[in-house]
Amino acid sequence: MKLNVPPSLRLLAPALAVVLLAACGKPETAPPADTGTVADSQPPAVAPLTATDPALPAPPVAEVRPHTVAAPHGASREDEYYWLRDDSRADPAMLAYLEAENAYTDAVMAPLQPLRQRLYDELVGRIKQDDSSVPYRYKDYWYQTRFEEGKEYPLHVRRKGAMDAPEEIMLDVNAMAQGMNFYQVATWELSPDQTRIAYFEDSVGRRQYTLRVKDLATGETLPVAIGGLSAGAAWSADGSTIFYVENDPVTLLTRRVKAHRLGSDPAQDTVVYEETDDSFYMGIGLTRSEQYICIFLASTVSSEQRCTPAAAPGEFRVLAPRERDFEYSADHLAGRWVIRTNWNARNFKLMSAPEDAWGERDRWTDLLPHDPEVFISGVQLFDGFLAVGERSGGLTRIRLLREGRDAEYVAADESAYTMGLAGNAEPGTDWLRYTYTSLTTPATTYELNVATGERRLLKEQPVLGGFDKADYETRRLWATARDGTRIPVSVVHRTGLPIDGSAALLQYGYGSYGSSSDPRFNANIVSLLDRGMVYAIAHVRGGQEMGRDWYENGKLHSKMNTFTDFVDVTDFLVKEGYAHPQRVAALGGSAGGLLMGAIANLAPERYRVLVSLVPFVDVVTTMLDASIPLTTNEYDEWGNPEDPEFYRTMLAYSPYDRLEAKAYPAMFIGTGLWDSQVQYWEPAKYVARLRARKTDDNLVVFRTQMEAGHGGRSGRFQRFHETAEQYAFLLNQLAVAQ
């Protein structure tokens, strides 16, 4: 499952996408080897490895232990690999099985080590190692994040007054991570006077954070270490108190908001709010005006916001009481609330309310009315204008609203692109920062003067290794699903690649939680494109690319649309000549891993190979267990299988339950032992049952990162070892020139 994080009160959350490959059963004939149409200097392809290769050992066989999983309504299922679940992650038999799978993966990948190393060198070779973010001004300082040559972690720095002032290092994450197998600083917040920094660290990978505080004047780390938290905090206006969110130690759900006064014993921290409804998540932050500290609560279908004055924190008052199917998020500036809401507005609209409209929704008035063709994704407030993030026709755009003037739109440069609001730290400016990217354009930051129309390029992310975006072309296509719905598809390949049905294809999808898979630049896939492959994103239902209905028609009882859309896009791309029918791969992660498992059962013959990362594949068992992190928050996404109708719906597509005796694609499956979003035992059980039931000799490899969680290893270079391994497996199975 995927954590549904409430939207920030200050900045729009960037869209997250993880990539995964899908493969089919063994074709009647081997796929044609890539002859190097694009990269003639590439070494030839190595014949695809199979499980019966005499040089490979036999794959692990997990012990079968009978176990029955019962539902309250009387239905039951046998789960012979249930024993692989160990919440303590210490059971010797379980760990031995995971290690045996890792050893088998090592053996399979050994013949591909030269390719894996070549891919790693390519991936790392595109990175500007001494890179830095675009600096931004906040109050007295210019802030920036930068990397140093050869180092895994960032430095968070600032300069007072101007960028030519001496640099102050706030957090050197490289030094902080020394001696750690995993380390992450998830986020940080400055005190109002900018003399202290509160930050949240994770040294396991389970996304259970510890709050620490550093004095920026002395460099001293204060004796504050409060664990078991969500990442996010808000300071009181006088800088004496930090408000933070404490997680439930078992379910890991956000449970309580507490206040810590610096210098006091954390054991005495005051609980200022406790959430008793297990379907809600919590976040905390300051409004744009910095006048209010707000607790933001959100379930899949409803939300609530509680705020208190930052200058005199006390009662957290409700802006509008929660109500099923009513969602809103409010920000505050210049004495009013600006509210994004679905109140009588399926695609959301903007409303405004007086500052004192506590609990009085009848005082809200329309600011930007509902448009059934336009989905409003977010808004940033400025002193003289509003910047509104929107979706229309499957693409993103930014609308500018100024009093007394018609709405204006920020111009785009391509037909398939992604545009979003960037970090605009202060409201008192005419300059709007925004990001722009496409499948051929690296992430680019612009600033636009809304008064004069002047646009400045602040940074285009450097891509080394001889990359030239003119060597690639992208387009937006439309596939027709089996029910007649038109599905947007984003495609990229080398310029001049023949679209003649001979190429290998990697198709990516996600399609859950209303999370849209926008066409963003990914430097990693250049290694695939340069070997003559085509890369495509299937914008299937369950995301929000085409508005709220796109999401609603890909969840609960309509979830099967997500999976059939993906297969229909594959058929369309093959028919249109973008891929050879025996050279199609698919990739997805987390809920996208559920997608991979579903298509493997629905249409295994369509795919040669699948890459499935941290996959949510044991849907029914997980959703029947309220003690597993995130389960209760997800009932309105998947359904509650304690209801017989939802039980039957989920059972019809649950990848683990639908495995049967037939041929399956080759698969690379990855997980992290400490994953708190999709527990490691889901893919472990899936692999064990898949090995026992499948009838083909296609390879299945299962890699467990023993010191990582949902996001993989923590260092920026370490991650490329994982990607290189997955790509090497994929290229070999597709017989692509290496």
User: What are the phi and psi torsion angles at 638 (to 5°)?
Assistant: -105, -30
**pLDDT attached to residue 25:** 34
pLDDT higher than 90, residue 628: no
Average pLDDT over residues 66-93: 97
| DSSP-derived pairing of the beta strands 584-589 and 609-613 | parallel
For the chain, the farthest-separated pair of C-alpha atoms sits apart, in whole angstroms, at 76
Which position has the token pair 């894996």? 116
Catalytic residue among 490, 675, 696, 714: 675
Average pLDDT over residues 251-260: 94
Tally of CB atoms within 10 A around 186: 14
Contacts of 707 (CB under 8 A, 6+ apart): 181, 182, 205, 673, 674, 713
The band of 718, judged by pLDDT with boundaries at 50, 70 and 90, is confident
Instruction: Tell me, yes or no, whether 82 and 189 share the same domain.
Output: no
Average pLDDT over residues 186-209: 92
In single-letter form, the type of residue at position 55 comes to: A
Catalytic residue among 260, 539, 580, 710: 710
Give the pLDDT confidence of 261-296 residue by residue, as tens digits.
Answer: 999 999 999 999 999 999 999 999 999 999 999 999
Catalytic residue among 299, 303, 517, 590: 590
pLDDT higher than 90, residue 72: yes
37 belongs to a structural domain: yes
Run of H or E including 563: helix 560-575
pLDDT higher than 60, residue 8: no
The band of 376, judged by pLDDT with boundaries at 50, 70 and 90, is very high
The band of 251, judged by pLDDT with boundaries at 50, 70 and 90, is confident
Count of structural domains within the chain:
2
Which residue in 517, 532, 650, 691 sits closest to 589, CA to CA?
A: 517
Instruction: Tell me, yes or no, whether 585 and 676 share the same domain.
Output: yes
| Cα–Cα distance measured from residue 535 to residue 532, given in angstroms and rounded to the nearest whole number | 10
Three-class SS of residue 416? coil
**pLDDT attached to residue 710:** 67
The band of 311, judged by pLDDT with boundaries at 50, 70 and 90, is very high
Instruction: Tell me, yes or no, whether 522 and 651 share the same domain.
Output: yes
Give the pLDDT confidence of 496-522 residue by residue, as tens digits.
Answer: 999 999 999 999 999 999 999 999 999
Instruction: Tell me, yes or no, whether 46 and 187 share the same domain.
Output: no
Give the whole-number percent of the chain exceeding pLDDT 90.
85
CA distances from 556 to 236, 502, 551, 564 (A): 41, 38, 10, 15
**pLDDT attached to residue 36:** 44
The band of 21, judged by pLDDT with boundaries at 50, 70 and 90, is very low
Domain boundary among 302, 318, 334: 318
The band of 177, judged by pLDDT with boundaries at 50, 70 and 90, is very high
Instruction: Tell me, yes or no, whether 485 and 611 share the same domain.
Output: yes
Which residue in 85, 186, 147, 253 sits closest to 630, CA to CA?
A: 253
| Cα–Cα distance measured from residue 125 to residue 477, given in angstroms and rounded to the nearest whole number | 32
- Joined together, the tokens standing for residue 352 give 């405004």
DSSP code of 185? E
In single-letter form, the type of residue at position 278 comes to: D
Average pLDDT over residues 399-406: 89
- Encode 391-404 in three state secondary structure: EECCEEEEEEECCC
2 belongs to a structural domain: no
Task: Please say if 710 is a catalytic residue.
Answer: yes
Instruction: Tell me, yes or no, whether 101 and 242 share the same domain.
Output: no
**pLDDT attached to residue 675:** 84
Strands across the sheet with 184-190, in order?
184-190, 196-202, 209-215, 226-235, 241-247, 254-261, 270-274
pLDDT higher than 80, residue 17: no
| Cα–Cα distance measured from residue 438 to residue 549, given in angstroms and rounded to the nearest whole number | 25
**pLDDT attached to residue 16:** 27
The band of 20, judged by pLDDT with boundaries at 50, 70 and 90, is very low
Instruction: Tell me, yes or no, whether 194 and 102 share the same domain.
Output: no
454 belongs to a structural domain: no
| Cα–Cα distance measured from residue 295 to residue 577, given in angstroms and rounded to the nearest whole number | 51
The CATH number covering residue 188 comes to 2.130.10.120
| Cα–Cα distance measured from residue 493 to residue 387, given in angstroms and rounded to the nearest whole number | 33
More confident residue, 4 or 147: 147
235 belongs to a structural domain: yes
- Joined together, the tokens standing for residue 386 give 């509003």
CA distances from 303 to 322, 384, 550, 632 (A): 6, 28, 20, 15
User: What are the phi and psi torsion angles at 549 (to 5°)?
Assistant: -65, -30
**pLDDT attached to residue 37:** 42
**What distance lies between CA 91 and its chain's CA centroid?**
30
Mind giving me the DSSP string for 570-633? HHHHHHTTSS-TTSEEEEEETHHHHHHHHHHHH-GGG-SEEEEES----HHHHHT-TTSTTTGG
**pLDDT attached to residue 193:** 95
Instruction: Tell me, yes or no, whether 200 and 78 share the same domain.
Output: no
| DSSP-derived pairing of the beta strands 136-138 and 76-78 | unpaired
The CATH number covering residue 570 comes to 3.40.50.1820
pLDDT higher than 70, residue 39: no
296 belongs to a structural domain: yes
Three-class SS of residue 253? coil
Instruction: Tell me, yes or no, whether 109 and 185 share the same domain.
Output: no
228 belongs to a structural domain: yes
491 belongs to a structural domain: yes
Q: What is the value of pTM for the model shown? A: 0.89
Q: Give the start-end residues of each E strand in 112-225.
A: 136-138, 141-146, 155-160, 167-172, 184-190, 196-202, 209-215
Which position has the token pair 């001696």? 179
Instruction: Tell me, yes or no, whether 61 and 196 share the same domain.
Output: no
DSSP code of 86? -
Average pLDDT over residues 647-676: 96
**pLDDT attached to residue 707:** 82
Instruction: Tell me, yes or no, whether 121 and 195 share the same domain.
Output: no
**pLDDT attached to residue 40:** 45
Host domain of residue 213? 180-318
Domain boundary among 318, 347, 375: 318
pLDDT higher than 70, residue 686: yes
User: For residues 569 and 599, is the Cβ–Cβ distance under 8 A?
Assistant: no
The angle that helices 113-125 and 718-733 make with each other, rounded to 10 degrees, is: 130
User: What are the phi and psi torsion angles at 77 (to 5°)?
Assistant: -140, 150
User: For residues 611 and 20, is the Cβ–Cβ distance under 8 A?
Assistant: yes
pLDDT higher than 80, residue 674: yes
Give the whole-number percent of the chain exceeding pLDDT 70.
93
More confident residue, 619 or 32: 619
Domain boundary among 258, 291, 318: 318
Average pLDDT over residues 53-62: 95
| Cα–Cα distance measured from residue 421 to residue 228, given in angstroms and rounded to the nearest whole number | 31
Instruction: Tell me, yes or no, whether 233 and 296 share the same domain.
Output: yes
Query: What average pLDDT does the structure give for the chain?
Result: 91
Which residue in 656, 662, 648, 714 sits closest to 681, CA to CA?
A: 656
**pLDDT attached to residue 306:** 98
The band of 30, judged by pLDDT with boundaries at 50, 70 and 90, is very low
708 belongs to a structural domain: yes
- Joined together, the tokens standing for residue 11 give 């900045």
